[in-house]
Amino acid sequence: MSDIGSGDEGISSQKYHGQGMDAGGNNFDSGQQPQEQELATKMLQIQSKRFYLDVKQNRRGRFIKVAEIGADGRRSQIFLAMSTAAEFRDHLSSFSDYYSSLGPPNPDNVPDDGKLKSEMMLKDNRRYYLDLKENSRGRFLRVSQTITRGGPRSQVALPAQGMIEFRDALTDLLDDFGVDDGGFKGELPEGRHLRVDNKNFYFDIGQNNRGIYMKVSEVKSNFRTAITVPEKCWTRFRDILADYCDKMCRAQHPQDPHQGGAGPAGPAGPAGLAGGAGGAAAGGGRAGAAQPAPDIEAGRGASRI
């Protein structure tokens, strides 16, 4: 018999291999996150499905990973910040009360979309849609997680009979670890825009349960692409750009080692050089020595990304 909420409900899933992946397909168990810790876990068996609730922590704070594993081994999962998990826990109580008030399923009185009750939660750049639904196999709560501005959708389906048990397990974890997300609590910088010729570049700062990141988008009339730069490597990213700026400046304005000393004033050097190589001192004194090329590194703070 098929699980309630599976099959034609389009549950986004993958075969379970014991590795966790976030909503963007990033592997939490890879070497990229050695500082991540698993603090606690709970397992629930509801009908033919298993649900794992894992409390995890990385340098940006704590969150709960909810994984659904069907009888065939297929896995679906969503991620909840601790504060979002507390809000979800409260919604489970109201959904359970509503479910208890319903009479027996009536195949002749099912809504066209199957939805009996819906709610939405918003956290940072993620939206969570809670839908109590009914189909030919029964009633279930579908929880869908989406990322704003596109991105993958992930979802789990909880049989309605298990909502109270799931809520109680979630409450136990929240009682032990609190509802504070931890991590960065300041206000993130506003986005920036740069236009070069017929291209537009957008710099947007965001945050998810993996940390703070910068999304750099290149947009043309019929073309768009983007990269994501984690906050922990912004300084190195900036240093590489500054080094290239410095090298290109020196390559475009080479300095003649034979110029300098006494003599007529030389031509103006690159922007930022005082009087150019071999320029005479003001007031008719002895000729000034050649000035070194400007150090881009020293002034890069004003254009830090």
- 232, 234, 236, 240 alpha-carbon torsion, rounded to 10°: 160
Tokens of 222: 């019929």
Residues of 128-162 as b/e, b for ≥16 C-beta within 10 angstroms?
bebbbbbbebebbbbbbbbbeeeeeebbbbbbbeb
Sign of CA dihedral 226, 65, 63, 92: positive
Confidence of residue 180 (pLDDT cuts 50, 70, 90): confident
CB 169 within 8 A of CB 44: yes
Q: Check whether 95 has a pLDDT greater than 70.
A: yes
Q: Check whether 18 has a pLDDT greater than 70.
A: no
- 8, 158, 57, 37 alpha-carbon torsion, rounded to 10°: -80
In this predicted model, what pLDDT tens digit does every residue of 20-42 receive, in sequence order?
334 333 333 333 444 678 999 99
In this predicted model, what pLDDT tens digit does every residue of 125-176 receive, in sequence order?
789 999 999 988 889 999 999 876 666 789 999 999 999 999 999 999 999 9
Residues 6 or more apart in contact with residue 254 via CB below 8 angstroms:
none
pTM of the model: 0.54
pLDDT of residue 137: 83
Nearest to 47 by CA among 126, 165, 134: 165
* Least confident window among 45-59, 128-142, 156-170, 268-282: 268-282
In this predicted model, what pLDDT tens digit does every residue of 186-229 receive, in sequence order?
678 888 999 998 889 999 988 775 678 899 999 887 788 999 99
Angle (deg, nearest 10), helices 82-101 and 163-177 = 150
* 79 CB burial (10 A radius; 0-12, 13-18, 19+): buried
Sign of CA dihedral 79, 80, 85, 88: negative
- 145, 151, 152, 157 alpha-carbon torsion, rounded to 10°: 10
Name the amino acid, one letter, at 271.
A
Tokens of 138: 């029964």
